[in-house]
Amino acid sequence: MGKHEKLLLKILSGDSDANIHFDDLCDLLKNLGFEVRIRSSHHVFRKEGVIEKINLQRDGNKAKLYQVRQVRNIIVKYKLGGKY
């Protein structure tokens, strides 16, 4: 199991939302086909077929808790997790 799959399972489980590294979350979204636009401290992710945009900001080296939850909801809603 690769790095992205492990992170995806960690996010989908919801057990450690406060412990997700910002850079890892950004890499996962890029791997899922999202395009990123960076404006100042905001990393805005968009993907064709996904209505919502994902706006991420750092909290130290971690992703903000509510943003991890937002990412999980979008992954589940659009079935972006593949077999997971």
Predicted TM-score (pTM) of the model is 0.94
- pLDDT reported for residue 81: 86
Question: Cα–Cα distance between 3 and 6 in angstroms, integer?
Answer: 5
pLDDT digit string, tens, across residues 30-81: 999 999 999 999 999 999 999 999 999 999 999 999 999 999 999 999 999 8
- pLDDT reported for residue 84: 66
Number of other residues whose CB lies within 10 A of the CB of residue 18: 11
